[in-house]
C-alpha cells in the first residue's frame, strides 16, 4: 500500500519512483570487460605470439630463462594488461589473488598446474597447450609449470602462457592454508607484475 502512495505522490509532484531507462547503470565490477572478453584477449594474444608479431619482445638469443620465470607486457592501457609468461620448473607463484582485477589465461605450450582454493581445500587442475581459464575477483590460486611439461620441453621449447588482467594489476594478496583448513592472508603487495614477482 505504501509503495502505491509513494508512486502517486511522486507522480503528482513531478518525480518518478523508477529511474529513467535511458540512463547508464554502473557495473558492480571494477571493469567493463567480462571474463569472456579476457579469454578472447588471451586467445588473440596467443595467436599473435605464435604468428611472430611479438618476436621483438622475446629473449634476443632465443634461449628462455631456465632459473626464473620471465614475462613481457604485450598490451597495456587503462583498461587491461596482457602478458606473455615463460614458466620454469619448480617456481610457483605462491597462493595469491589478483586483488580487484579479473584475470584470464591461455596456455601456448607445455602445461601448467593450478591449485585453487575452493573454500575448504586446494583443488588441482592441469591446463595444457590450448586450454584457457578465467579468474573472477576473489579467486585464490597457485600456478606452477606442470611436472610433465618440465620433462618434455627444454630451454628452446618453454612452457608459455598469455594472461590478461582488467583493470590492470595494482596489488596482490598472498595466503596460506592453516592447520584448521582455513585460508589466512599473509601479506598484500602493490605490484604491476603478473602472477607474483618475477
pLDDT > 90 in the chain, percent: 66
Contact 99, 170 (CB under 8 A): yes
C-alpha R_g of the chain = 22
Q: 74, 48 in Cβ contact below 8 A? A: yes
| C-alpha cell recorded at residue 150 | 618440465
Tens digits of per-residue pLDDT, 84-141? Answer: 999 998 889 999 999 999 999 999 999 999 999 999 999 999 999 999 999 999 999 9
> Would you put residue 111 in left (φ > 0), alpha (ψ -120 to 50) or beta?
beta
3-state secondary structure of 62: coil
Phi, psi of 57 (to 5 degrees): -95, -10
CA–CA dist 133, 155 (Å, integer): 25
Task: Using the Cα atoms of residue 31, residue 42, residue 122 and residue 186 in order, give the sign of their dihedral.
Answer: negative
Q: What is the pLDDT of residues 47-81, one digit of tens each?
A: 999 999 999 999 988 888 888 899 999 999 999 99
Determine the Cα–Cα distance for residues 123 and 117; give it in Å rounded to an integer: 6
Amino acid at each position: 500500500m505504501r509503495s502505491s502512495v509513494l508512486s502517486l505522490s511522486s507522480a503528482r509532484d513531478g518525480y518518478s519512483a523508477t529511474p529513467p531507462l535511458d540512463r547508464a547503470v554502473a557495473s558492480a565490477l571494477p571493469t567493463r570487460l567480462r571474463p569472456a572478453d579476457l579469454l578472447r584477449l588471451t586467445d588473440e594474444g596467443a595467436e599473435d605470439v605464435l604468428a611472430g608479431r611479438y618476436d621483438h619482445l622475446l629473449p634476443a638469443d632465443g634461449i628462455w630463462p631456465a632459473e626464473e620465470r620471465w614475462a613481457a607486457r604485450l598490451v597495456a592501457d587503462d583498461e587491461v594488461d596482457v602478458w606473455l609468461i615463460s614458466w620454469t620448473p619448480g617456481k610457483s607463484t605462491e597462493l595469491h589473488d589478483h586483488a580487484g582485477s579479473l584475470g584470464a589465461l591461455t596456455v601456448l605450450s607445455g602445461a601448467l598446474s593450478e591449485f585453487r582454493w575452493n573454500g575448504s581445500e586446494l583443488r588441482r587442475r592441469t591446463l595444457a597447450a590450448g586450454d584457457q581459464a578465467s579468474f573472477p575477483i576473489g579467486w585464490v590460486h597457485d600456478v606452477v609449470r606442470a611436472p610433465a611439461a618440465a620433462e618434455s620441453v627444454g630451454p628452446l621449447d618453454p612452457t608459455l602462457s598469455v594472461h590478461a588482467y582488467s583493470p590492470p594489476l595494482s596489488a596482490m594478496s598472498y595466503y596460506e592454508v592453516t592447520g584448521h583448513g582455513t585460508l589466512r592472508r599473509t601479506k598484500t603487495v602493490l605490484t604491476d607484475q603478473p602472477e607474483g614477482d618475477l
